[in-house]
Structure 1
């Protein structure tokens, strides 16, 4: 599981596997002492054992949204919800699951990637009883 935590953390902080939102190159939003790190990528990038351990489906047409919440410099639990919307306005709910490993906490959800397009992610991250809205766009591409 340590390998899983390291992999997910690396993706969340350092790997904009798909084109990033140019207005937020760090893939992070800060709300006072709460920092929300986010990353979206094609699930085919996951190693089979990592996908199995997290219950994710590996597919060139499935994306993964990874959220990590840091409060006062430490990993924090949160309630994460949201939707993903395509350019036609078609919206789909995101179903997040919490993954905890050796003190690290991640929230992951899968979404469909039907074609190369720009998706809008509208999220709500509730940490410490306070809701933090977060919205970003990301261009996605079906994997290989």
Structure 2
């Protein structure tokens, strides 16, 4: 599994959550259901991150750089949901098959758990994403794929 752990990146995770709502016209948070689990995902251009914050957490900013943000929720019998850890491997590629393997950073903010990976892109490029993940406590490896056209944010 390609994952680093950062136990508390308060501002960053709060920022990512804010982006999910404020940047909705650019890319809304999406989700996909896998039985009792729901995988939430979003892609955000790094120019939305303040330079000081990006430097503090080792994120590279740029008009051709983005982050993928993933989180996993489990739906419980009482109707509530809880964040779940997951083992996660992921990759992205473009139409020329140039591939990026993500080195995910795990971010924890209170009960929330996020996994963030960085990548580069060119304007109007179609990016393809694929993730294999195993929810904590499960032996089942789940697979998820999507594609998204990327745009430079000037």
TM-score, normalization: structure 2? 0.79
Equivalent residues of 1:12, 1:66 under 8 A apart: no
Shift of 1:35: 0.7
Aligned to 2:30: 27
Q: Is residue 107 of structure 1 aligned with residue 115 of structure 2?
A: yes
Whether 1:64 and 2:67 are equivalent positions in the alignment is yes
The answer as to 2:55 corresponding to 1:52 is yes
In our comparison, the structure showing a higher alpha carbon Rg is 2
Following the alignment from structure 2 to structure 1, what is the Cα–Cα distance between the partners of residues 19 and 82?
18
Identify unmatched segments of 5+ residues in structure 1. 21-25
1: CA distance, partners of 2:83 / 2:57: 19
Name whichever of 120-129 and 47-56 sits farther off.
47-56
Bigger mean CA deviation after superposition, 79-88 or 41-50: 41-50
The Cα RMSD (Å) is 2.1
From the superposition, tell whether residues 126 and 90 of structure 1 become closer, same or farther in structure 2 (CA, over 3 Å).
Answer: same
Q: 1:19 to 1:11 in 2, by over 3 A?
A: closer
Q: CA deviation at 1:11?
A: 3.2
Provide the residue aligned with 1:138 in structure 2: 148
Please give the TM-score of this superposition, normalised by the length of structure 1. 0.84
Residue 92 of structure 1 and its aligned partner are, at CA, apart by 1.7
- Distance change (3 Å), C-alpha of 1:79 and 1:85: same
Render the CA deviation track for 1:75-99: whole Å, top value 9, x for unaligned. Answer: 1111121110101222221111101
